[in-house]
Amino acid sequence: MYTIKGNTSDWELVIGLEVHCQIISKAKVFSGASAEFGAEQNTHVSLVDAAFPGMLPVLNEECIRQSVKTGLGLNAKINKYSRFDRKNYFYADLPQGYQISQLYYPIVGEGFIEVHTSEGDRKIGVERLHLEQDAGKSIHDMHPTKSFIDLNRSGVGLMEIVSKPDMRSPEEAGEYLRQLRAIVRALGTCDGNMDEGSMRCDVNVSVRKVGETILRDRVEVKNVNSVRFVMQAIEIEANRQVEVYENGGTVRQETRLFDPNNNETRPMRSKENAHDYRYFPDPDLLPVILTDEYIEEIRASLPELPEAKKKRYVSELGLTDYDAHVLTLDVETSRYFEEAMIGQDPKKVANWVMGDLFGYLNKNGLTVSNSPVSAKNLGALVGLIADGTISGKIAKDVFEIMAETGKEPAVIVEEKGLKQESDTGAIEKLIEEILSANQDKVAEIKAGKDKLKGWFVGQIMKASGGKVNPALANQLLDKKLAE
Amino acid sequence: MTDLINLHISEAADLLAKKEISSVELTRAHLAEMEKGRVLNAYITETPERAMADAEVSDKRRANGESLGALDGIPIANKDLYCTKDVRTTAASKILSNFLPTYESTVTQKLKDAGTVMLGKVNTDQFAMGGSTRTSYFGESKNPWTDANGEYALTPGGSSGGSAAAVAAGLCMGATGSDTGGSIRQPASFCGITGIKPTYGRCSRWGIVAFASSLDQAGPMARSVKDCAIMLESMAGYDKKDSTSVNTPVPNYLSALTGDIRGKKIGVPKEYRMDGMNEDVAKVWDKGIQFLKDAGAEVVEISMPHTKYALPVYYIIACAEASSNLSRYDGVRYTTRVEGATLDDMYKNTRTDGFGDEVIRRILLGTFVLSAGFYDAYYTRAQRVRRLIAEDFKKAFETVDAIVAPAAPTPALSFADMANMDPVSTYLGDVFTTPSSLAGVPAMALPVGMSSNGLPIGLQIIGKHFDENTVFQVADVMEKSAGFNLMPHRVKG
């Protein structure tokens, strides 16, 4: 159990996450404008997004479908009746002066996500998922006294996924977020890129003495833009709270900003905290009524989710829990693995993916999606080892060349003449040469110093440039020594 | 020329069809009358060049043997709440006083597509908040009906007061209005013209500056029931750009004007007969009831027990929605801006300067009723009572086909009287119109009689959801029985 030691007590953490996921859809949630990321500023803006007089929102059905899909992926209850509310506040990048959201009747209710940590497997509760619109973007660093507004993001559909306060350690929160990202990516409902802001996370943290069952006042930490930062922010904020309590103070409910540069959380200006959002049902939109048929149709179209995939990798492919977990955390990785494994030993392929491939990709800041070694070629490489064409050792060299050139392994083996020698006559000849050149050592072996056989194998490999199958070399060496 | 400005749309349509008059003549006559009638301050923006161009196009069309129908070539005015492409749209406010839309509202586009000629944009209470046009940034409009001294000293009502004054004074043949809590029916009654607030969801709200989204509804104002039927048929219809517009076919409204209401059951809500009711209004109401009986309808007393709550419920809901709808006028994009040291200061300066007192009052009221700690006591409770009011109508319509009631508690008020009234007293003027607005049912006002001091008094016919046909049918019979053909004196040129 993760605790923070204080002078008066050990402290336990209570953590909840609010994750905003930008919905993958062609158009924004209430306007026909494109929801594509990265376009030139203010080019994807309709009259609705800029809140011109008399403009009205019209719900994009695709966003409903994506939300239901995500809800099903979170093992959650889909609410057949949901409704939109206005959250009122003024800000320069919020043209309507309100955000359309779902406070009272969200589209998705309670569900859970299974996470796996060093302390075992746990189900983390999901409180709700609601659909809302994103605000625009304020840009403060382009002019000394002016702010610039980009409304491309204004009105893009968001799913806000609120967890229950079920997490007890930074690791658990990190795993929850990773697993959530794996799920939405597998579903194709959000691309989960935290650095581009398509997935954003606010963290609610409180601490309590071990054994307490009450919830103490929590602090909401904003601006936490990676899994690593989430874990870091929780640790820092929890320690800060423990220190406050240990020194006789109290933690009050507030919103703080995470500052990764200074490794601290600090309070937001109180003004930014003092909103009364005056939620009320949006009279421009009708309630969303879903039928069982609609929900079942979406359920039937769901792809295999990471958790199910993981279980299948263990039971059907014989992978370890750990390997199966790593390979299913990211839909691109599992897709890569499944392609590479066609016709090959899954365990061997898994080792290559998680070993050499991940090593290379990490070192070069790449991902499986833009890996120079294609899944097909990695599978082929494993195949060349399996059928004895090359040795495992040579394969490592071939892999390096594949990564540099993107070429097929068979072509590299051919070009570089790396094919394993299996011609027994040629190998026997080579062994005879080595034995005759080292009569003294042969004598020692015959006198019982068996260990020297290894030295001879080494010499054989060296003389052949590594192309001799080591098992074959051993076998033939024994034969020659016995003669 | 006087002839042309006194014509009904239906009459002008016949003459245009027979090529006895041209749209250019008709338009020119109205433009001339508009110039004479500027003392009424009915228009905020006149668009004579565009009107003449549209009229020429219409005449050319007809010369080629093509016609877009009864409205082709008919000069009309649009309430300045409807966004009109390339024509300034102000909502009678300072904050939008320089707003030039790049788009056309669905309803005005439909009227354009029907061949109408737009003469200009008419005055309204600021953001449609008021019953007199006194809250307009561009000054009040005058009722063309004069007071005992022959002065233009009376309000045309509101918020669609500019529309009503223009229609009554012959400054256009018909006009668009909008009705949130009586804004078509009360000015129609004050100015002696007809106007209908159709069922909520019948006309698209797209492109109309929003006041209270769950109540706002577009509707026509004209000089006869028939003219309103012609106009509404062209304004109505489902619009996928307005999620609250209803996808149900628009019936042929003219076919409803059968002149026969024998056997129809008409309800008279006893709760509408209030203590201390204006005698003239009560008399006209009785007269109207007698007309219906004489025409063979069965008139029965009905009870609508939640009527007395309609006014407070209306002001809570309308203000709540308005406080949010008007947030977009923040000085950041298209509104006039008053700079400030910080963003918040800019908001304060812009909105304090750009909104009139009544608008600010309603934003504050609406903000208050939605605030944490007050929301349930006001907004939630008001919504609950709104459902009860709607139930009253539903129950009533189980036994009656339509309801007849006054459109306003008094004839047109004088500006002098209004100056001494506090805001709440002015809100009381909506007592007969807000229940049907809250229920979303169609209601039409038409002139039925005169007050003792020579001012028109209108009644309203209220119908079931999407049953404008019965409303038109009953109103048409009452119009014929009343024979109300009085017009205000034309403005002397």
A103 in reach of chain B (CB within 8 A): no
Beta-carbon contacts of A167 under 8 Å, excluding residues fewer than 6 positions away, are A13, A14, A15, A16, A17, A124, A173, A176
Give the orientation angle of helix A452-464 with respect to helix A439-446, to 10 degrees: 140
Q: What whole-number distance in Å separates Cα of residue A311 and Cα of residue A324?
A: 8
Whether residue A90 is found in the same domain as residue A207: yes
B370 near A CB under 8 A: yes
> What was the pLDDT predicted at A431?
85
- C-alpha span between A128 and A106 (Å, rounded): 7
Residue linked to tokens 């508690």:
B409
What is the Cα–Cα distance from B35 to B38, expressed in whole angstroms? 6
Q: Torsions phi, psi of A371, nearest 5?
A: -70, 135
- Sign (positive/negative) of CA torsion A367, A371, A374, A378? negative
B179 inside domain = yes
Residues A266 and A325 in one domain: no
Q: Give the dihedral sign, CA B209/B211/B212/B216.
A: negative
Residues 6+ apart with CB under 8 A from A197: A22, A225
- The pLDDT tens digits of the residues spanning B419-435 come to 999 888 888 889 999 99
Sign of the Cα torsion A404, A409, A414, A416 reads: positive
The answer to whether residues A35 and A177 touch, using CB atoms and an 8 Å cutoff, is no
Q: How far apart are CA B464 and CA B397, in angstroms?
A: 7
Query: For A287-322, how does the pLDDT look when each residue is reduced to its tens digit (9 = 90+)?
Result: 999 999 999 999 999 999 999 999 999 999 999 999
Please check the confidence at residue A420 and state whether its pLDDT lies above 80: no
| Residue B231 covered by a domain | yes
Q: How many domains does chain A have?
A: 3
> For each of chain B's 493 residues, which pLDDT tens digit applies?
458 999 999 999 999 999 999 999 999 999 999 999 999 999 999 999 999 999 999 999 999 999 999 999 999 999 999 999 999 999 999 999 999 999 999 999 999 999 999 999 999 999 999 999 999 999 999 999 999 899 999 999 999 999 999 999 999 999 999 999 999 999 999 999 999 999 999 999 999 999 999 999 999 999 999 999 999 999 999 999 999 999 999 999 999 999 999 999 999 999 999 888 999 999 999 999 999 999 999 999 999 999 999 999 999 999 999 999 999 999 999 999 999 999 999 999 999 999 999 999 999 999 999 999 999 999 999 999 999 999 999 999 999 999 999 999 999 999 999 999 988 888 888 999 999 999 999 999 999 999 999 999 999 999 999 999 999 999 999 999 999 888 887 776 5
Which of A297, A332, A366 terminates a domain? The answer is A297
- What is the C-alpha to C-alpha distance for residues B427 and B418, in angstroms, rounded to an integer? 11
Same domain for A354 and A432? no
- The chain-wide mean pLDDT, for chain A, equals 92
CA distance A169 to A231: 8
Residue A177 and residue A259 in one domain: yes
Question: Considering the domain boundaries, does residue B410 fall inside one?
Answer: yes
Same domain, A323 and A391: yes
Contact B184, B197 (CB under 8 A): yes
Residue of chain B minimizing CA distance to A89: B327
Strand partners, A10: A5
The count of structural domains within chain B is 1
What is the Cα–Cα distance from A373 to A396, expressed in whole angstroms? Answer: 13
Kindly list the residues from chain A whose CB atom is less than 8 angstroms away from the CB atom of residue B206: 54-56
The answer, for A481 touching chain B at a CB cutoff of 8 Å, is: no
Which DSSP symbol is given to A34? B
Integer Cα distance of A463 and A474 in angstroms: 14
Using an 8 Å Cβ cutoff, are B144 and B40 in contact? yes
**Is the same domain home to A319 and A353?**
yes
Q: Which residues of B413-451 are buried (b: 16+ CB within 10 A; e: fewer)?
A: bebeebeeeeeeebbebbbbbbbbbbbbbbbbbbbbbbb
Q: Across the interface, which of B83, B330, B334 has its CB nearest the CB of A97?
A: B330
B130: left (phi over 0), alpha (psi -120 to 50) or beta: left
**How is residue A249 written in tokens?**
């103070």
Phi/psi of residue B253, nearest 5 degrees:
-70, -35
- A78 in Cβ contact with A101 (< 8 Å): no
Please indicate whether, in this complex, the C-beta atoms of B324 and A95 are within 8 angstroms of each other. no
Asked if B371's CB is within 8 angstroms of A276's CB, the reply is yes
Cβ atoms of B106 and B207 within 8 Å: the answer is yes
Mutate to test the interface with A, among B99, B215, B240, B243 (most CBs of A within 10 A): B243
* Residues A478 and A378 placed together within one structural domain of the fold: no
DSSP-based three-state secondary structure for B135: coil
- Chain A CB within 8 Å of residue B367 CB: yes
Q: Which of A47-61, A104-118, A412-426, B216-230 has the lowest mean pLDDT?
A: A412-426
What is the enclosing helix (H) or strand (E) of B463? none
B63, amino acid identity: A
Whether residues A53 and B327 touch (CB distance < 8 A) is answered with no
User: What CATH number corresponds to the domain at position B184?
Assistant: 3.90.1300.10
Q: Which domain holds residue A335?
A: 304-416
Pairing outcome for strands B443-450 and B194-197: antiparallel
Cα–Cα distance, A159 to A174 (Å, whole number): 19
From the number of C-beta atoms within 10 Å of its C-beta (0-12, 13-18, 19+), residue B2 rates as: exposed
Tokens of A397: 């060299």
For the record, the structure tokens of A60 come out as: 């994009």
DSSP annotation of B355 reads S
User: What pLDDT is attached to residue B2?
Assistant: 52
B47 in a structural domain: no
Which CATH number covers residue A451?
Answer: 1.10.10.410
DSSP-based three-state secondary structure for A114 = strand
pTM of the model: 0.89
pLDDT in the model for residue A274: 64
Three-state SS annotation for A66-92: HHHHHHHHCCCCECCEECCEEEECCCC
- Which of A260, A280, A297 is the C-terminal boundary of a domain? A297
Identify the active-site residue in B10, B23, B58, B79.
B79
Evaluate whether B138 touches B194 at the Cβ level (below 8 Å). Answer: no
DSSP state of A354: I
Provide the phi-psi class of B110: left if phi over 0, else alpha when psi is between -120 and 50, else beta.
alpha
ipTM for the predicted complex = 0.96
Residues of A in contact with B320 (CB under 8 A): 280
Is residue B360 domain-resident? yes
Domain termination site, one of A416, A440, A464: A416
Range A156-173 average pLDDT: 97
Is B159 a known active-site residue?
A: yes
| Alpha-carbon gap, residue A67 to A20, rounded angstroms | 12
Report d(CA B447, CA B288) in Å as an integer. 10
pLDDT class for A271, splitting at 50, 70, 90? low
SS3 A152: coil
Instruction: Examine the domain organization and report whether A272 and A308 are in the same domain.
Output: no
Structural domain range at position B234: 77-104+118-493
Helices of type H across B304-380:
310-325, 343-354, 357-370, 375
Same domain membership, residue A288 and residue A386: no
The DSSP symbol for A260 reads: T
pLDDT value at residue A364? 92
Strand order in the sheet with B298-302: B43-46, B117-122, B75-79, B174-179, B217-222, B194-197, B443-450, B456-462, B402-406, B265-269, B298-302
Are A88 and B324 an interchain contact pair (Cβ–Cβ within 8 Å)?
yes
One-letter amino acid for residue A243 of the chain:
E
How far, in Å, CA of B143 to CA of B153, rounded?
7
A235 φ, ψ (degrees, to nearest 5): -60, -45
The count of other CB atoms within 10 Å of the CB of residue B131 is 28
DSSP A186-243: HHTS----TTTTSEEEEEEEEEEETT--SPPP-EEEEEE-SHHHHHHHHHHHHHHHHH
In chain B, the residue whose alpha carbon lies closest to the alpha carbon of A51 is B328
Is B484 buried (19+), middle (13-18) or exposed (0-12) by CB count in 10 A? Answer: buried
Q: Residue A32 CB: number of other CB atoms within 10 A?
A: 13
Contacts of B370 in chain A (CB under 8 A): 88, 278-280
Residue in B323, B326, B332 nearest the CB of A92 = B332
Could A47 and B103 be called an inter-chain contact, meaning their C-beta atoms sit closer than 8 Å? yes
| Residue A330 token pair | 């990211």
pLDDT value at A70 more than 60: yes
Residue A90, φ and ψ in degrees, nearest 5: -95, 130
Whole-angstrom Cα distance, residue A71 to residue A111? 8
pLDDT in tens, B382-406: 999 999 999 999 999 999 999 999 9
Amino acid at A90: F
Q: Give the integer Cα–Cα distance in Å for B218 and B328.
A: 21
End-to-end CA distance of chain A: give it in Å, rounded.
Answer: 65
CB pairs under 8 A between A and B: 97
